Amino acid sequence: MKLNQVKTAAALVAVLGAVLAAPAHAGKTLDGIKARGQVVCGVNTGLAGFGAADSSGKWAGMDVDMCRAMAAAVLGDGEKVKYVPLNAQQRFAALQSGEIDVLSRNTTFSLTRDASLGLHQTAVTYYDGQGFMVPVKSKIKSAKQLKGQTVCVQSGTTTEKNLTDFSKASALNIKPIVFEKLEAAEGAYFAGRCVSYTTDASGLASTRNKVAKNPADHVILPDLISKEPLGPMVRRGDDEWFAIVKWVVYGLLEAEEYGITQANVDALKATSKDPIIGRILGSTEDTGKLLGLDKEWMARAVKTTGNYGEIFERNVGPKSPIMLPRGLNNLWNKGGIQYAPPIR
Asked if 57 and 93 count as a contact pair (C-beta separation under 8 A), the reply is: no
Looking at the structure, do residues 181 and 316 belong to the same domain, yes or no?
no
In this structure, the number of other CB atoms found within 10 A of the CB of residue 276 comes to 16
Residue 34: inside a domain, yes or no?
Answer: yes
End position of a domain, from candidates 180, 202, 226 = 226
Long-range CB contact pairs, 163-170, < 8 A, 24+: 163/130, 163/198, 163/225, 166/225, 166/226, 170/144
Residue 344: inside a domain, yes or no?
Answer: no
Dihedral class, residue 27 (left if φ above 0, else alpha if ψ from -120 to 50, else beta): left
CATH code for the domain of 141: 3.40.190.10
Looking at the structure, do residues 113 and 135 belong to the same domain, yes or no?
no
pTM of the model: 0.88
Q: Which residues are CB-neighbours of 322 under 8 A, at least 6 positions away?
A: 48, 49, 202, 205, 206, 209, 315, 316
Residue 11: inside a domain, yes or no?
Answer: no
Looking at the structure, do residues 122 and 267 belong to the same domain, yes or no?
yes
Instruction: Note the pLDDT of residue 275.
Output: 97
Q: Are strands 59-60 and 52-53 parallel, antiparallel or unpaired?
A: antiparallel
Looking at the structure, do residues 98 and 246 belong to the same domain, yes or no?
yes
Task: Give the separation between CA 135 and CA 24, rounded to whole angstroms.
Answer: 54
What are φ and ψ of residue 313, in 5° steps? -60, -40
Number of domains making up the chain:
2
Looking at the structure, do residues 53 and 180 belong to the same domain, yes or no?
no
Domain that holds residue 164: 130-226
Looking at the structure, do residues 203 and 275 belong to the same domain, yes or no?
no
Residue 249: inside a domain, yes or no?
Answer: yes
Looking at the structure, do residues 241 and 291 belong to the same domain, yes or no?
yes
pLDDT tens for the chain, 344 residues long, are 444 544 444 444 443 444 444 455 568 999 999 999 999 999 999 999 999 999 999 999 999 999 999 999 999 999 999 999 999 899 999 999 999 999 999 999 999 999 999 999 999 999 999 999 999 999 999 999 999 999 999 998 889 999 999 999 999 999 999 999 889 999 999 999 999 999 999 999 999 999 999 999 999 999 999 999 999 999 999 999 999 999 999 999 999 999 999 999 999 999 999 999 999 999 999 999 999 999 999 999 999 999 999 999 999 999 999 999 999 999 999 999 999 999 99
Instruction: Note the pLDDT of residue 23.
Output: 53
Instruction: Note the pLDDT of residue 217.
Output: 97
Looking at the structure, do residues 159 and 286 belong to the same domain, yes or no?
no
Instruction: Note the pLDDT of residue 20.
Output: 44
End position of a domain, from candidates 159, 193, 226 = 226
Looking at the structure, do residues 123 and 163 belong to the same domain, yes or no?
no
Find the farthest-apart pair of alpha carbons in the chain and give their distance in angstroms, rounded.
Answer: 85
Looking at the structure, do residues 119 and 107 belong to the same domain, yes or no?
yes
Instruction: Note the pLDDT of residue 19.
Output: 41
Looking at the structure, do residues 247 and 123 belong to the same domain, yes or no?
yes
Q: Which residues pair with 44 in a beta bridge?
A: 86
Instruction: Note the pLDDT of residue 26.
Output: 62
Looking at the structure, do residues 119 and 157 belong to the same domain, yes or no?
no
Residue 342: inside a domain, yes or no?
Answer: no
Task: Give the separation between CA 164 and CA 178, rounded to whole angstroms.
Answer: 12
End position of a domain, from candidates 201, 226, 251 = 226
Instruction: Note the pLDDT of residue 119.
Output: 98
Instruction: Note the pLDDT of residue 3.
Output: 47
